[in-house]
């Protein structure tokens, strides 16, 4: 019986960050590793391991193709694996669970930084090197803030639990979450408009779907109380950027953003000029912990498939659209 072929479609530097020698050790005796340039096509392998930068797959396989499983070492597969391919029998798995804690911690840092105005204070300190006479005002604490979480995704749940641990009252909106599960997480399940009207902090952790695109538009942003903070480490398309920009420009709201409509953020973007916004370059999962967790999940999924066990992180055709 031929040894299954596992094609690693990940650049060498990223492969080292994700796996170290974990792939070689994990697949020893059960699979043959090949990489770009080894004379085997991606679709001729039994298993394809992908990562950031991998080329999208076709909707159909040719008769000579052997591909049966795609294991994505990052999050969403929607721009990589067509849903039609899953419906035709190719299976897929992904490693977003390994990224959740890192992204949630960044979102928590952004939340506290905006509540305490730390990013603006840092810029003032760096420019003046003297805080005598500076009016930094009075800040707010996370413990005394109501945090609204939009989307009980893996990241959303991790962020929610961090906020609960800090003492916040947490509201959550997610049409796929029930009241009992929300209560177990330490949150109160409410309609979106209620969440927006009662939250000091609004944190976005939902997938982009037809019904969630620009879900925070001008009328809904207007529901957030004066002084509110919008935190987005999920997808920029969840928010009407022009409407949010207008609210932040006016000073009524502030924002912390790790995702943007255009990435990298253009040099002439007005976001750079605003004092009440914290910007980071889409690096929520850029930690050693996250990379190795992603790699560990991917290796385990490949091993499970090759040894006939159930996958733990499979993306099914019916759950495909629920991904970020």
Distance separating alpha carbons of residues 133 and 130, to the nearest angstrom: 8
Looking at the DSSP assignment, which residues form a beta bridge with residue 93?
Answer: 71, 314
Query: What distances in angstroms separate CA 51 from CA 76, 169, 262, one per listed residue?
Result: 10, 37, 21
Catalytic residue among 140, 282, 286, 292: 282
Q: CA-CA distance, 107 to 155, in Å (whole number)?
A: 9
In whole angstroms, give the CA distance from residue 278 to residue 126: 16
Q: Which helix (H) or strand (E) holds 192?
A: helix 192-198
Distance (Å, rounded) from C-alpha 12 to C-alpha 7? 13
Rounded to whole angstroms, the Cα distance separating 178 from 172 reads 10
Which of 235, 291, 304, 313 is catalytic? The answer is: 235
Active site residue 235: yes
The question of whether 181 is a catalytic residue gets the answer no
Look up 263 and say whether it is catalytic. yes
Do 296 and 25 contact (CB within 8 A), yes or no? no
- The H or E element containing residue 84 is helix 83-87
Active-site residue (options: 36, 263, 270, 312): 263
The owner of tokens 């750079």 is: 272
Nearest C-alpha neighbor of 120 from the set 137, 143, 102: 137
On whether the CB atoms of residues 281 and 259 are closer than 8 A, the answer is no
Rounded CA-CA distance 284/11 in Å is 20
What distance in Å separates the CA atoms of residue 156 and residue 138, rounded to the nearest whole number?
Answer: 29
Q: Which residues are designated catalytic?
A: 235, 263, 282
């Amino acid at each position: 019986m031929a040894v299954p072929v596992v094609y690693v479609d990940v650049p060498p530097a990223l492969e080292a960050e994700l796996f170290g020698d974990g792939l070689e050790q994990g697949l020893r005796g059960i699979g043959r590793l090949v990489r770009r340039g080894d004379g085997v096509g991606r679709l001729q392998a039994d298993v394809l391991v992908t990562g950031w930068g991998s080329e999208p797959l076709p909707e159909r396989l040719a008769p000579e193709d052997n591909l049966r499983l795609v294991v994505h070492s990052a999050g969403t597969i929607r721009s990589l694996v067509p849903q039609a391919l899953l419906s035709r029998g190719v299976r897929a798995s992904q490693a977003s669970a390994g990224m959740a804690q890192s992204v949630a911690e960044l979102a928590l840092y952004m939340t506290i930084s905006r509540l305490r105005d730390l990013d603006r204070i840092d810029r003032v300190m760096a420019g003046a090197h003297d805080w005598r006479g500076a009016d930094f005002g009075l800040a707010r604490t996370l413990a005394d803030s109501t945090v609204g979480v939009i989307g009980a995704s893996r990241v959303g749940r991790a962020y929610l639990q961090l906020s609960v641990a800090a003492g916040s009252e947490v509201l959550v909106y997610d049409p796929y979450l029930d009241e009992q599960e929300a209560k177990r997480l330490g949150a109160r399940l409410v309609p979106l408009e209620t969440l927006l009207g009662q939250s000091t902090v609004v944190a976005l952790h939902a997938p982009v779907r037809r019904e969630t695109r620009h879900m925070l538009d001008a009328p809904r942003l207007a529901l957030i109380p004066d002084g509110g903070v919008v935190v987005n480490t999920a997808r920029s398309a969840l928010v009407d950027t022009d409407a949010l920009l207008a609210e932040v420009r006016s000073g009524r709201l502030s924002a912390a953003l790790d995702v943007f409509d255009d990435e990298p953020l253009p040099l002439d973007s007005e976001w750079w000029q605003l004092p009440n916004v914290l910007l980071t370059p889409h690096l929520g999962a850029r930690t050693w912990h996250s990379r190795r967790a992603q790699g560990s999940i991917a290796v385990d999924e490949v091993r499970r498939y090759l040894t006939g066990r159930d996958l733990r992180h499979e993306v099914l055709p019916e759950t495909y659209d629920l991904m970020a």
